[in-house]
């Protein structure tokens, strides 16, 4: 089995936003597990990298947090996407698409204009 790689810092923020858009308000543990499973378990998320990302997103106003209750009446801190966060997500998705398109052109099968 391929070793799980640690997730890159910059893209983690994008993943968190996407996760919150998909799942709706979620606590930190849930976000971590979701990211891991979405990646097909190829990524491992530890709290040492997740929480700085969450803090940054919250300080910049893209997500908001509040203490609430889970299904089992357990106290947990839930994070949710703000409107600004939605816009930021859309923007970053577009940019990411563009980056991958460009990179694919470079790394794709080279067409040799013979």
Partner 1 sequence: MRKIRAFVFRVLGMFRRTQLDREFDEELQSNLEFDIQDGLRSGLSPAEARRQALLRLGGVQAAKEAHRERRSLPAVETLARDVVFAVRLMRSQPAFSAAVVMTLALGSGAATAIFTAVDQVLLRPLPYAQPSRLVHIGALREGTSTAFSYTANFASFRDGNRTLSEIAAWMQFGANVIHGESSERVLGGLATRSLFDLVGVQPVLGRLFTTEEDAPGGPPVVLLSYAFWRDRMGADPSVLRQNLVLDGQSHTILGVLPDGFRVPNRFGGSAAEIWIPFAIQGRRAARGEILAHVTGRLRDGVTLEQASLDLDRLKMKLRSGISYRVVVTRWQDEVAGPLRTPLLILSAAVAFLVLIACANVANLQLSRAASREREFAVRRAIGAGRGRIFQQLLTESLLLASLGGMLGGLLAYAGKNLLTGLLAIRVQAADVALDWRVMLFSSTLTLATGVVCGIAPALHLQFRENLSGALKAMARGMTEGITWRRFRSALVVGEVAAAMLLLTGAGLLVRSFIELRTVDMGYRAGNILTFKLELTKSKYKDTRSQAAYFGQVLEQVGRLPGVQLASLAQSPPFTQYTLTLHQAVIDGLPPKALPVRANVITPDYFRLLDIAVVRGRDASSSDSFPGAAPVAFVNETFARLVCPGGECLGRRVQSWSTGRDWLTIVGVVRDVRTVPGREAEPEVYGLYSQFGGTHATVLLSTVGDPLAVAGVVQRTIAAIDRTQPAYDPETLEQSMSGYLKQRRARMMLVVVFASAALLLGAIGIYGVLSYAVKRRTNEIGVRMALGAEQRNVLGMVLRSGCNLVIAGIAIGMALSFPLMRFLASELWGVRPNDPATLAVVAALLTGTGVLASLVPALRAARIDPIQSLRCE
- Which parts of this chain interact with partner 1 (CB under 8 A)? 27-30, 32-33, 46-49, 51-52, 55-56, 58-61, 70, 72, 74-77
Strands, E, within the chain: which ranges? 5-6, 26-27, 43-44, 63-69, 75-81
Taking the complex as a whole, the smallest distance from the CB of residue 19 to partner 1 amounts, in Å, to 15
Nearer to partner 1, 95 or 102 (CB): 95
CA 111/CA 19 separation, integer angstroms: 37
Taking the complex as a whole, the smallest distance from the CB of residue 109 to partner 1 amounts, in Å, to 40
Query: How many alpha carbons lie under 13 Å from residue 93 in its C-beta half-sphere?
Result: 12
Taking the complex as a whole, the smallest distance from the CB of residue 40 to partner 1 amounts, in Å, to 18
Nearer to partner 1, 24 or 61 (CB): 61
CA 15/CA 2 separation, integer angstroms: 21
Nearer to partner 1, 60 or 97 (CB): 60
**Could you identify the residue written with the tokens 């099968």?**
109
């Amino acid at each position: 089995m391929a070793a799980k790689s640690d997730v890159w810092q910059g893209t983690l923020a994008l993943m968190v936003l996407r996760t919150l858009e998909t799942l709706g308000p979620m606590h930190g543990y849930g976000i971590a597990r979701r990211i891991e499973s979405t990646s097909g378990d190829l990524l491992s998320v530890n709290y040492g990298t997740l929480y700085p990302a969450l803090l940054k997103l919250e300080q910049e106003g893209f997500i908001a947090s509040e203490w609430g209750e889970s299904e089992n009446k357990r106290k947990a801190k839930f994070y949710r996407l703000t409107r600004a966060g939605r816009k930021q997500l859309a923007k970053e998705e577009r940019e990411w698409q563009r980056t991958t398109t460009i990179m694919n052109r470079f790394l794709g099968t080279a067409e040799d204009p013979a």
